[in-house]
Amino acid sequence: MLMDKTMGLELKMPDLGNLTESAQPLECRVALISADRQLAGDWVNALNATAAQHENPFGLCFEAVTPAGVERLVQEEDNLQALIVDGGCDAQSLEAADELADRIHGLRSQLNIFLVAHGSLAGAGTAPQAAPSAQSLANLRQRFDELFDRREGNFNHMFRLVQAFIARRASTPFADTLKEYVFSARDAWHTPGHSGGDSLRNSPWVGDFYRFMGEHVFNTDLSVSVQVLDSLLEPHSVIQEAQDLAAQAFGARHTFFLTNGTSTANKVVIQQILGGGGKIIVDQACHKSVHHAIVMNRCEPVYLKSVLHPEFGIYGPVKRSDIEQALDEHSDARLLVITSCTYDGLRYDLKPIIDYAHERGVKVLVDEAWFAHGYFHPELRPTALECGADYVTQSTHKMLSAFSQASMIHVQDPDFDEFRFRENLNMHASTSPQYAMIASLDVARKQMAMEGYSRLKQCLQMVDTLRRAVDETGVFRALTRDDLIAEPLANDNIRLDPTKVTIDISASGYSGKEMQIKLFDQYGIQVEKTTYNTVTVLVTLGSTESKLLRLIHALKQLARNTRKRGHIASARKLPEFTHFNCLPADAYFAETEELPLMDNGVEATRNLVGRTCADEIVPYPPGIPVLVPGQEISTQIVQFLQQLLQGQNTTEIHGLIFRSDEPMLRVVKEDAPQASPKKAAGKKSGR
C-alpha cells in the first residue's frame, strides 16, 4: 500500500557525508515512459532543469523512453533506479501502464515506479471516461509508489518526491545511527568490558589484537544501554525502521533480524507454530537446527526422503508426490519445512507445493539459508515468499554482504501472532547482540535494494565464464541442472541456482577432498565443499574478476596433471529410515546408556539392533542423519556406520561419542520410563 511505503520513516535527504565516501559518484537514471513524445520531452527537460538547480546527491537524471523500449532498458541499464509511467487519458492506457509496472517489477523488484495519470482516472474528481473499479484503483495504489496528475506543473515537487523515494531505499537507519554514535565519542561506563577497545589498546600483551582488528570492531561493539541504538529484542526506532526497509526489499509483511544465524531462525519459527508439540513434516536432509527444534519442542516428525543423485552423492529435494502424500496422510500436521535452494542450489517448484499444504491447513516454512539473493534477479525468481510461504529464513551472511551469523526471518503468515513471535524470538536470542552484525544486515539490504540486480547480473556473467572455462579443460565438467537432477525428480520442475557451481572432477583421477587440498595448497584457493567426485564453488557478490582468473588458471593447470584413477569411494546410499519408538524429545532426554559401535562387529550389532537411538547421528558428507533421537536402530544402519568408520573417506560422523577412541552410540535404557513404546506417537511416521 502506498501508505506502508512512506509511513513510519521521514523521507530524509541523504547523508552527504556518507555519499562523499562512496567509491564512485552516484548516477541514478529515471526513465519517463510515454507514447506521448511531446509530454515526455517537456517533462524530461523540466525535470533535468530542476535537477540541475537543486541538491542532487544521487545524481538523478531523467530520460524519455517509449513503452516498446522499457523492458530492454530495465534489463540493460544498471543505473536505472526509477520509472515514471504515463497512464494516458483513458482507462485502457491506464490498464496498459498497470500491466507494464507489473512486468517491470517481475524483472527488477526494487525499482521505484510512479504513475502519471489523468486525475479523474486515478480516482480524483469525476471521470470523463469509464472510471476504474475500486479494486483496480486499489491495485494501482499497490503497484505504484506515488501518483502524479498529468496536468502537474510543479516539477520541483515531483523531482523531490522521486528523490525522497530513492533516498528512503538508500537509507541505512541503524548503520547511520551507529556511525554517528561512534563519532560522537561518548564515555562508556557500560558493557562490553573492553569499553571501545580501551582495555586492549595499550596492552603489551593484547594490543596487537586491537591493531589487527581495527578500532571500529571495538568501538561499534556496544550494548543495549545505548538507547539511541534501539533494542533488537524490543525494537521501536532505528532497528524497527531497518527491519521495515528489509521487509519491503525482500517482499515480506514483516522482517526480523537475527544475530544468531538461520540455525536460530528455524528454531524460532518452529516454536512459533509447534511450541509444546505437534506434527511436523520435514525433509530428512533439512538442516540440523530443524532436528534440534523437533527435540526442543517435543514435535512428532514425519520425515520425507530426499532423493540421492547416485553418481555425485548429492542429496536433492524430495519428490513432490512424496510431499503431497505426506500431507494427505497426516491431516493433523501443522507445519511443512522445505529447504530451497539446497546447498547445491537445487530449487523446488514451490508454488504448487505451498498451495497444496495451505489447502490442507498446513503452514509452510521455507529454509532459504542459501537463497537470500533470489528476489533481486529475474533468473532466480520466484522466491518462497512470492510462492506464498508463511515463513522464510535466510542467512543473509551466506550469499550477501552481511557478517557471519546475520540472518533474517521474513513473515507473511495471515494468522501471524506478532506478540507471541516476539516472545519466541527473545527466548532464543542473546540479550547482548552484536551491533556491527545488525548494521551489516541494514547495509546488505541497502546494497541489494540499490544495486542487487546489477551485482547479480555480474555474478551470472561470471558463472557463464567459469562454466565455459571448466568445460574447456576437457577434464573437469561444470554440472548442469539436468546433470544434478536425479531421475525420480525429472518431472518436478526443479531449478538450479547457477551461483552454486558444482564441478565433476572424476576424470582427473582425484577425489573431491584431494582436489580441495591441491587447490588450497598449490593455488591458495578455498572451495565451498566437496563430495567424492565433485567440488563446489560459490559465486557471490564478493567474487571478483581476478579471483575468477586465478580459479580458471588453477583448473587449467590441474587438468594437465591427471592421474590414473585411484580408488575413489562412490556415493553411498543412506540406509532406510526406520520407525520411531517414541518422540525424539523423549529419547533425547531419557535415561540412556552408551553401547560400542565397533568392538567385535557382530556382538556390537546384536546389542544395538532394536534399541532406540538417543542422539542424531550424521555422517559428513552428505550431512544427512541416518538416525535421529527416538528412531529404532536397524542392522542395516549399524553396518552402514561400521563400514563408514572402516573406510578411508569419511571425515566425520556427528553424534558418536568417543570413549578412549572407541565409538559409542547413546541409546535409551530398556527400562527407561520416559521413553516407553506406549508413549510412541506415529509409530510408522518415519518413512
Ligand X SMILES: Cc1ncc(COP(=O)(O)O)c(C=O)c1O
CB of 341 to ligand X, least distance (A): 9
Residues that bind ligand X (CB under 6 A): 261-263, 287, 289, 339, 343, 367, 369, 395, 407
CB of 597 to ligand X, least distance (A): 27
**Do residues 98 and 141 touch, judged by C-beta distance below 8 A?**
no
Q: From CA 466, how far away is CA 459, in angstroms rounded? A: 10
CB of 289 to ligand X, least distance (A): 6
**Do residues 494 and 347 touch, judged by C-beta distance below 8 A?**
yes
Q: From CA 406, how far away is CA 259, in angstroms rounded? A: 5
Smaller CB distance to ligand X: residue 408 or 590? 408
Query: 3-state class of 39 per DSSP?
Result: helix
CB of 537 to ligand X, least distance (A): 16
Q: From CA 23, how far away is CA 434, in angstroms rounded? A: 27
| The three grid cell numbers given for residue 625, joined into one nine-digit string | 542423519
Bridge partner list, 337: 282, 365
Smaller CB distance to ligand X: residue 343 or 421? 343
Position 393, amino acid: T
Q: From CA 433, how far away is CA 174, in angstroms rounded? A: 14
Smaller CB distance to ligand X: residue 312 or 343? 343
Q: From CA 306, how far away is CA 342, in angstroms rounded? A: 11
**Do residues 29 and 138 touch, judged by C-beta distance below 8 A?**
no
Tell me the CA distances in angstroms from 2 to 103, 126, 142, 242, 506, one per residue in order. Answer: 19, 22, 6, 18, 55
CB of 400 to ligand X, least distance (A): 12
Smaller CB distance to ligand X: residue 263 or 508? 263
Smaller CB distance to ligand X: residue 219 or 440? 440
Helix residue spans in 191-330 (DSSP H)? 198-201, 207-213, 215-219, 238-250, 261-274, 288-296, 320-329
CB of 396 to ligand X, least distance (A): 8
CB of 263 to ligand X, least distance (A): 3
CB of 303 to ligand X, least distance (A): 16
Closest-approach residue to ligand X (CB): 261
Smaller CB distance to ligand X: residue 358 or 428? 428
Helix residue spans in 251-280 (DSSP H)? 261-274
CB of 260 to ligand X, least distance (A): 7
**Do residues 409 and 258 touch, judged by C-beta distance below 8 A?**
yes
Half-sphere exposure (Cβ direction) of 606: Cα atoms closer than 13 Å? 5
CB of 5 to ligand X, least distance (A): 29
290: exposed, middle or buried (Cβ count in 10 Å: 0-12, 13-18, 19+): buried
CB of 393 to ligand X, least distance (A): 7
| The three grid cell numbers given for residue 232, joined into one nine-digit string | 533488537
**Do residues 280 and 291 touch, judged by C-beta distance below 8 A?**
no
Smaller CB distance to ligand X: residue 339 or 531? 339
Smaller CB distance to ligand X: residue 306 or 543? 306
CB of 134 to ligand X, least distance (A): 43
Exposed e or buried b per residue across 611-644, where buried means at least 16 C-beta atoms within 10 angstroms of its C-beta? bbbbbbbbbebbebbbbbbbbbbbeebbebbbeb
Q: From CA 393, how far away is CA 262, in angstroms rounded? A: 6
Smaller CB distance to ligand X: residue 262 or 440? 262
Smaller CB distance to ligand X: residue 407 or 685? 407
CB of 415 to ligand X, least distance (A): 24
CB of 343 to ligand X, least distance (A): 5
Q: From CA 305, how far away is CA 68, in angstroms rounded? A: 48
Q: From CA 587, how far away is CA 605, in angstroms rounded? A: 20
**Do residues 385 and 410 touch, judged by C-beta distance below 8 A?**
yes
Smaller CB distance to ligand X: residue 97 or 535? 535
Smaller CB distance to ligand X: residue 159 or 375? 375
Smaller CB distance to ligand X: residue 337 or 489? 337
CB of 623 to ligand X, least distance (A): 8
Query: 3-state class of 322 per DSSP?
Result: helix
Helices 288-296, 261-274: crossing angle, 10 deg rounding: 40
| The three grid cell numbers given for residue 658, joined into one nine-digit string | 568417543
Smaller CB distance to ligand X: residue 369 or 425? 369
DSSP state of 374: G
Smaller CB distance to ligand X: residue 284 or 289? 289
| The three grid cell numbers given for residue 667, joined into one nine-digit string | 541409546
Helix/strand/coil (H/E/C) assignment for every residue in 146-174 = EEEECCCCCHHHHHHHHHHHHHHHCCCHH
